[in-house]
Structure 1
Amino acid sequence: MRTFIKLLIGACVVTGAGTVGPTAVHAFAADAAGAMDSPAGASGVDPHAHDNHHKMSGTMRSTVDYTLPPVSLIRDDGKTVSLISELNDGRPVILTFIYTTCRGICPMVSQTFEQFQGLLGGDREKVHLVSISIDPEEDTPARLRAYATRFSAGPEWQYYTGTVATSIATQKAFNVYRGDKMNHTPVAFVRAAPGKPWLRIDGFATPDELLSAYHELVASN
């Protein structure tokens, strides 16, 4: 893994979100190094995932059943809401974790969500895109609204913050808590409907990969 990180430094990584320069590569390398010491191991894959892992375009996919914690978050419109109610409103959910001052992973993930949002076409109003902050002390609803505007987020794409405790509880529920925001890794979660398992995609999923996962899960629901 350390060799892999060294190879990344000074190179360029091409993803569905575009070409990333050395700065983002250094950020990703730091995240990968942090993941080495994380409970999920070097890959960041959830140890509780079902044994049907397989790779697509440099990502690792797994099907996982998560129990949502009974916590309240603050939506980017300033309203306090139940996490369970927000995710169980009947729509398919595509979820990720970000923070607004991130300069490496988060802009890439958010740009991917922006492109995915465009690819949805007529299905756009049927889904719920969710971005949850892992830095709630800095990410106020106003800051999240400004960040959402940066990525042309539509009404179906909402951002959430809250207290440090609720943020950590939510991260732990999805097995993405790494103790420090600098150690986070790119992960996306897709679920067809309430009560269904989540498809966890570790790594930089492309917009097309998210779209394919969404169509597959909805078709099989």
Structure 2
Amino acid sequence: MAIALAVASTITMVAPHAYAQDSADPHAHHHMMKGMTMTSMVDYTVPAVMLVRDDGQTVSLKNEVDDGRPVVLTFIYTTCTSICPMISQTMSQLQSELGADRDKVHLVSISIDPEQDTPERLREYAKKFGAGPEWQHYTGTVAASVATQRAFNVYRGDKMSHTPVTLFRAAPGKPWLRFDGFATAADLLHAYQQPVASN
């Protein structure tokens, strides 16, 4: 049973961290008030798919995310004008705030519109957000994209119906911390620093 953690990103009268047992269907949408992010720990199996990295190389997603580094994983598409720029801006901010640790964390953005998002378009998109070498963008076949979205329970059938989701995993074999809603760079930095500090 996953533990759900509600994190308020705005000042409210409610305690910022409220823990509750999540007995809801894990595939159900979380309903959030504005400014709220729902988090849960989830065991996802990285699918055995081949994707095309923004440098044009065809790579195994499993090999990419299991390189030993902590991973921050998002789903975007380059023509999105609402959710994706906000998610990518957060990734850009996280990249900056990691400072000297930035090369120790693998930032991964996977396109949910692979028919339009060629490696060239992803490179242009990445450049807009100042992506460094530790932040890669991926595309591929429609089948590979859908399989990846399904594996991480973010598939909504249509790119226009997608919702903001960010995933963090401290190391290969560990569960994923899932943020439904707009995670902040501070949320992600805290997730990264917490397991590092406890080692």
Class of the TM-score when normalised by the shorter of the 2 chains: 0.7 to 0.9
Alignment of 1:43-82 (within 5 A): 43=30, 58-82=36-60
SS at match of 1:170: helix
**Are 1:162 and 2:140 matched, yes or no?**
yes
Q: How many positions carry a matched residue from both structures?
A: 176
Alpha carbons of structure 1 residues 197 and 136: separation in structure 2 relative to 1, 3 Å: same
In 2, are the aligned partners of 1:191 and 1:217 still within 8 Å (CA)? no
Give the C-alpha shift of residue 44 in structure 1.
Answer: 7.0
Q: Which residue number in structure 2 is paired with residue 122 of structure 1?
A: 100
Deviations 1:60-98 (A, max 9, x none): 110010111111000000000001000000011001000
Give the C-alpha shift of residue 40 in structure 1: 3.0
Q: Alignment partner for residue 103 of structure 1, among 81, 88, 93?
A: 81
Deviation of the 1:122 alpha carbon: 1.1
Code of the residue aligned with 1:187 in structure 2: it is V
Listed as ranges, the matches of 1:141-220 within 5 Å are: 141-220=119-198
Secondary structure at the aligned position of 1:200 is classed as strand
SS at match of 2:86: helix
Q: Indicate which of 137, 158, 175 corresponds to 2:115.
A: 137
Is 1:42–2:20 an aligned residue pair?
no
The answer on whether the counterparts of 1:44 and 1:202 sit within 8 Å (CA) in structure 2 is no
Q: CA deviation at 1:220?
A: 4.1
- What letter corresponds to residue 67 of structure 1 in structure 2? T
Per-residue CA distance 1:172-220 (angstroms, 9 max, x = gap) = 0000000000110001000111111110011001111111111113334
Question: How far off its partner does 1:101 sit?
Answer: 0.3
Give the AA of the match of 1:188. T
Give the letter aligned to residue 107 of structure 1.
P
User: SS of the residue aligned with 1:67?
Assistant: coil
C-alpha separation in 1, matches of 2:36 and 2:31: 13
Q: Which amino acid aligns with 1:151?
A: F
CA distance in 1, matches of 2:47, 2:79: 26
Kindly provide the CA deviation profile for residues 95-127 of structure 1, in whole angstroms up to 9, marking residues without a partner as x.
Answer: 100000000000000001100110001110111
Alignment correspondent of 1:3: none
TM-score (normalizing by structure 1): 0.76
TM-score (norm 2): 0.84
DSSP-derived class of the 1:63 partner: strand
- Match for 2:109: what amino acid? S
Counterpart position of 1:113: 91
For 2:68, the aligned partner's letter is G
Q: Secondary structure at the match of 1:42?
A: coil
Q: After the TM superposition, which segments of 4 or more aligned residues of structure 1 sit over 4 Å from their partners?
A: none
In terms of fraction of residues, the more helix-rich structure is: 1
Amino acid at match of 2:173: G
Question: Which letter does structure 2 place at the counterpart of 1:121?
Answer: G
Question: Residues 177 and 220 of structure 1: is their aligned pair in 2 closer, same or farther, counting only changes over 3 Å?
Answer: farther
- Mapping for residues 12-23 of structure 1, pairs under 5 Å: none
Structure 2 unaligned residues grouped into runs of 5+? 1-8, 11-25
